[in-house]
Structure formats: C-alpha cells, structure tokens
Structure 1
C-alpha cells in the first residue's frame, strides 16, 4: 500500500488524511493528487492509496500504514468505506468527506450520519456537480460550433478529397444553395455563426447556465426553460426565462437540453416536442441523451430533417454500424465532456472549501 505514516518527529498536532480506492481513482484519476496539493501547507497531510482489490475500511488503512489514529483530525475518503467503528479508532476526527466507490453520492449511511451528529463530527459533501460544469458547458459550446461549421467533417474530408477546396457554385462535396470564396454554410441545416441564432436551452444549472451565457456573449438570442431555477440563474445566463417547453422548441435553431438524467427528466423532451423542432434545427447532447425521446431524435436526424452534435447517446459505446456515425448532419464524440484536469481540480477545491482552516 503506497504511502507512509505522518512525518517522523511530529509533536502530536492534528493531521489531515486522504485515502483513495483504485476503482474510484479510475473514474477521477487526478482528484487525489489535487486534494494533496490543495491541503499542502504547514499542517501535515498524508495520501494513502489502497492498491488491492479487497475491501477495506478507513481504520484498516490507517492501521496498516502505521499512522497514529489519535492525530487524524480531518479526513477525505475516496471510495474507501467508513463504518461507525472507525470513529472509535479515530478519536480526534472532527471533519470528514466521504465519496462512495461509485464516485456519486455522499457515501454516508443513515447510521453513520447519526454517529457523526452524536460525536460532533462535521460531514462535508458536494452540494451540486459544479466541479464539471465548466468542462461540460465548454464542450457543449464546442459541439455547437462544430455542428454549425461542420468542422469534423471538413477535417476528415481534407485528408482524402480536394473537392472541399472548391467553393465555386455547384462545387464542393455537398449541394449548397449558395457558394463563394470560403462560404461553407449548409442551407439544409442551421449553420454559420452562433451570433443571431435562436438558442433554446433546458436547464439553468451549473452546465446550462454557463452554456447559455457563452451563447449570449457571442450574440445569440437565448431562452432557457427550468421551472426549478431561481430568477438569478437566468440573469447569470443572460437569457430570458421560458415557462413552456412547447414554446421553447417552437422556434429553436439550436436546441440544447442540458440537465442530468433523473426520473423527473427522463423523456422530458417527448416525441411531440422533438417533432415540433423547426426543420434544420441543431440538437446538442452533452449531458444525457435520455432526456429526449431518442427514437424521435434519431428518426428526424436520419431523415435529414435536423442535425445532431452529441457526446452522449442512448447506447454506449455506439456500435460501429450505427447509422448516426459518419453522417454530414451529425457530430459525434465518445462521452468525453466532463473529465478534464480542470474538473478534477475543481472536485478537490469544492470539497475542501468548507473544512475549517487548521493552524
């Protein structure tokens, strides 16, 4: 097990401890090191990695590492379970943050929460998934620009076909109504700039509000639907609040449903709403595809009625023979939006922020 005990020669002062499970770290590979860096300072901090597939508890790791349990005052556990008995072994523990092995949720059972409360131990958890909000929102913007300008298709075509350089009327690799030097808009679908486009967004949370603000700053006309968001979220997004989904989709040139997939949002964008999208609309999938009736989206995309720029799909991995792949009206990437170095560091910064400073 990599890691050593607290620094030799210490005076019994409180210490900080980070423990991490390899399965958890496979999902968030840079968080543990980021936590170690954020906590680095005059207060000793130790990072312990459990490198075996067997299940251990926090006290097991502390015992194996030869750490004096009476010195552990603040603890962050990434995928290593904690049980009430661990608190007896760590008598000086005052603050803790737990993330379950899956990487989602608080990792605290009702029994453990009761023990925390009775022992005066403060438990910290992420209040939202803002740690990857910027990463996903920027990616959604990149998908939008790629879909509007057919950047991936042109990149691929340049490697095998000189016709992409032909801007003469009737030239090039696609049927354009208008051609001219450097003119690449595809009149069959929403294309060109974000400026001047009607961008319609579902969700004014960490991702949707950022994406809306990006588009608004580029000159788009932006409306957002989110019946649960407070009014300031729409001001932050630079967008009008829309209360009705049918109105939201009715004039959308760019349609971005950017909410998490939970029971309340599954299938939120029904087939009727998908069918109400104007011909040529560009749909952005950057959170979860299941927010939409995916069969309806597929039907319209494959009929060349709308375009799609997607990082998430109804089936993942997308089969190599999926008809969505390689189309002129589809941009596709392999569920890549959320896990950047920035998102990993934000995970660490946001979870450590509520911990009390230590002298």
Structure 2
C-alpha cells in the first residue's frame, strides 16, 4: 500500500503509517510550504490508497482519478475535501477536531492579557517615544485590571471555548459567561449559560469562538457594539467575517468599546492600508492562534489512531462522512 502525506506530520506518525504497511511519500504544503495544485495533487497521489492532507484541495476529480481508499484531513473541519464526492465514492474522510483548541485557547488568554494590561501599548510607547508619557511615569497611563476582576463572555462554546473557560476560571478565577444554544455549558462547570444579549451587556471582554457560516457572518456589528459595555474589549480568534470590521473601526474610534485584539480578518492578508492598522487601541496578529508546534503532534496522533482503528475493522472516532460506515463489502 502507498500513502501520500502533504500535511505536516511528525516522524513518529510517519513511522506509524509504515507500521500499518504503507510506503510513505511526502510532498506539498507540509514539506515545502507550497501546496500542490489540482493537477499536481492528482499526479502525486496516483497509485496511493491513503492521502493525508491539510491545505491541498481534494475535489471530485482527484477522488475519481486516484483510487484512494482513505483521506485524512489534518484540520478541525475538513473544508479542503469534497465530502459529497468522497461519500459517493465510499471513501472515509478522517479529520482532527479540536487539534488546535489548546493552542488557540492559550493565545486568547495571551491576547486578553496584552490588551487588558496595556502590554502592547506600553512596548510600542517605550520603543517609539521612550520611558515617560508627557513627562509622567508610565505607571499612570498603562494600567489595567486583573483577570480575576473581569467577566469574560464567550460567543461559542465548542472545543476552543471550553478550553478558554478552563484556563480563565481555573487559572485566574475569572467569571466566564458563554452563549452557545446547541452546546451550552454544563451546570456548575467553568462557564454560565446566557443568551447573546445578556452576554454582551454583562461582559468586560467578549471573545468569539464560532465558525464562519451564513448565520454568524456580521454577527458582531454596530448593534452588538452598542449593547456592549463602554470599557469592553473584543477578541476574535475565530473567523474574520464574524465581525463587521467597518462597524468595529467606528466603535473603536468613537469610544463605543475600549479596544480589540484580532488574529483573523475578513480579508487575509490584511491590506496595508486597512484602518485597523492606524488605531492604537487594537492588538493585531497575522492569524497565529493555532500556530503551536504541538498542533502537528495532536493531529498526527488523532489521524494515526483512527487509521489503526480502520485497519482493525473498527469505526474511526473522527469520521467526517459517517454515511460511508459500515463500508460496502
């Protein structure tokens, strides 16, 4: 059997694939930093029974021409794979939900500390203007609040939201609210279940953890900012289009909210002339929340575990197209 791995994958994971009987070839995004295009992927995967991918698009043409038996997407949601085409072909699609939940949750706490305690503003001032602020000690200008004194509202309570709540509640004693009707917090857990209006009104910090869907696009816009506290902060490590960026810029300029920390944007890369870049009450990072070395180890382990389940005739734990199970004889 042959396997093509275009995702980042650990040496231990490659050894596990070989232990399952695969002759492994590596190419594409995970090894060169450049994803294979459709023709390149079709040529590289020809003759392989397994494809492990992360960025490359696996469409109906690739599936039809390759003879693949299993596709593993090293992503939380396998958005790079045509699930309908895979299901029609009887090809199981494995994925790695929650693979970067810890990484993103850590980053959220980092952004919260940076924005709430003036860390980024203090560093910028020191580098560009020196120690004093208008002749006064910086202590008077870059104060913030302790996390234990804040109320943090999480819009979305999936794997990332739950990981953020555990860190804030257990590590800092922060009161955490969460709005996610399909996945509400457990009573007595790390967060209190509230509706969106109550969350916006009560939170010192609003952190977004929902996917980009028609229902969530523009969810946080002018009306939401008016309902938030005037000293509130917005954190977005989810998807850029969940926030109406024009309304956010207006809210930040007008003092409707106090600040924001953003890792994702409606357009990426962020244009160099974007108005957010000119605001000093915003912390901006270039889509880094999931960029922890550990994430590769997590998705490698999850995929290898499921491939071993498949080899043993068992149902994979993370099967994106359950209609293919049980497999056709």
Which category describes the TM-score, using the shorter chain as reference length?
Answer: 0.7 to 0.9
TM-score (norm 2): 0.76
Residue of structure 2 aligned with 1:256, choices 184, 207, 213: 207
Equivalent position of 1:286 in the other structure: 237
Conservation of the 8 A alpha-carbon contact between 2:236 and 2:261: yes
Matches within 5 A, 1:1-359: 15=1, 17-21=2-6, 25=7, 30-31=8-9, 35-39=13-17, 41=19, 43=21, 45-49=23-27, 55=39, 61=45, 75-78=50-53, 79=56, 81=58, 82-84=62-64, 86-87=66-67, 96-99=70-73, 104-105=78-79, 107-108=81-82, 110=84, 112-116=86-90, 123-126=92-95, 128=97, 130-164=98-132, 171-172=136-137, 179=140, 184-185=142-143, 191-217=144-170, 218-232=172-186, 238-242=190-194, 244-305=195-256, 306-325=258-277, 327-356=279-308
Q: 1:195 to 1:164 in 2, by over 3 A?
A: farther
Q: For 1:158-191, what per-residue CA distance to the aligned partner results, in whole angstroms no more than 9, with x for missing partners?
A: 224333489xxx7146xx8xx4xxx841xxxxx3
Residues 67-89 of structure 1: CA distance to partner in whole angstroms, max 9, x if unpaired? xx8xx6xx2342485434644xx
Unaligned runs of 5+ in 1: 1-14, 64-68, 186-190
CA–CA separation in structure 2 for the residues paired with 1:254 and 1:281: 5
CA contact (8 A) 2:150 2:175 kept: yes
Secondary structure, in 3 states, of the residue corresponding to 2:3? strand
Larger Rg: 1
Of residues 48-57 and 148-157 in structure 1, the stretch that sits farther from structure 2 once superposed is: 48-57
Change (3 A) 1:38 1:264: farther
Q: Which has the higher helix share?
A: 2
- 3-state DSSP of counterpart to 2:159: coil
Q: Distance in 2 between matches of 1:336 and 1:76?
A: 26
Equivalenced residues, count: 297
TM-score by length of 1: 0.70
